[in-house]
Structure 1
Amino acid sequence: MTVHAIIGGTGLTELPGLTIDEAVPMETPFGSPSADILRGRYAERDVLFLARHGHPHRIPPHQVNYRANLWALKNAGAQAIIAVNAVGGIHSAMGAGHLCVPHQVIDYTYGREHTFFEGNIDHVTHIDFSYPYDEPLRQRLIAGLAAEGFLFSSHGVYGCTQGPRLETVAEIARMERDGCDIVGMTGMPEAVLARELELPYACLALVVNPAAGKTSGVITMAQIEAALAEGIVKTRAVLARALAS
């Protein structure tokens, strides 16, 4: 049976319901991952769990050691990865509390260590990244959302920005013209690193705020935290459904 790893983002630094067998500290050729990898059982399945921003939440998105995180999960036995990401909503359907299973990504980040294929390597390697998310794993998340009866979008384009600041109104307008439906700060290079390691990878995105210019007021942390508190409960239910399928 496939061993799934769950990467928890903002609001999911721990996974209630996870029976922890051990916390695995790990070093990699790329440094330390964000936190110990938790090995245990969730929804009666063997799982690994990693808090992307550390536990407690302390590592900003542009300083996450994505290479160490993915390498550590692979070496701990992960065979597929479900990533949970808190995002802003650009498309009108993506209101706070909405869930989305993106099918495409646009990378606006810069300066991040974004590949394993560099340095002292034997040959140049190019991977196909036409479809960044694993379709069978996406369909399991979609089925879990449908079974729970939550409002969700089965497709969406994830625009990944550098952070840690939120975006300007003009930047969001540009992203909307580019075709982005949601905006986050951690979707890349995580997805491409999983592909390089031949790990099926899919994203469950929770909208926690309207993107800049999509509301009359400013975006506040109080609004984001309220949406997280409600949305993470839904997220856990969907994860349990997807793992059990």
Structure 2
Amino acid sequence: MSAVQQTGGGLVSASPSALSSGPFRLVLFALAMGGFAIGTTEFAAMSLVPYFAPALGIDEPTAGHVISAYALGVVVGAPIIAVLAARLARRVLLIGLMTMFAIGNALSAFAPDYGWMMLFRFLSGLPHGAYFGVAALVAADFAPPGRRAQAVSYVMAGLTIATVAGVPVANWLGQIVGWRSGFAVVAVLALVTVALVALFVPRDRAPEGASPLRELGALGSRQVWLTLGAGAIGFGGLFCV
């Protein structure tokens, strides 16, 4: 029997050992690779400010707005994409999000001036939040009920590893090769993720009954707003420090 099987709403485990099976490990690796790419560009961009600021003819405080442009893209993109893409199959959506992310970072690597850099970083941030949301759902659907949190943590590990390995490498490339290489490498990582997702994440169908209006209906729940508020305060404090 295969480790997973398809249902109308997505993918569910067909074996209690699915979390340790070869195919499932490849799925988690593919999803974590996307998190690694996103984490690398999110934090490495800060370390590259001293290098791209003079190249774009701006001072470092102004270059900091480039980081804000990416963050704005994350904030804007996550809810909009979640609503508009509600009827898409998750595998297709993951491929589309990482393709968009790859294009945004590739364009950032060739940005001719400050204005274009701001635009390209904003575009790069749009898929950020939606990717993690969809990747977490895919990982959870794949895992046995008692180990879904563990599966999601494996996906998020890509973001953690990026801060330890990806960011230093991107910073080193920025110093040795040039700041544009840091964004170019992230674009390559995103394309690798696209290939891995296409190869290892099974085809699925769009969630039954999904609609943009139904997605917006969640905003009527006070629990949702409390959760969003707690997350905003926590992450806001983290980045302030």
Name which structure has the greater RCO, CA cutoff 8 Å, separation 6+.
2
Which structure's residues are more often helix, by fraction?
2
State the structure with more CA Rg.
Answer: 2
Normalising by the residue count of structure 1, what TM-score does the alignment of the two structures yield?
A: 0.26
Which structure's residues are more often strand, by fraction?
1
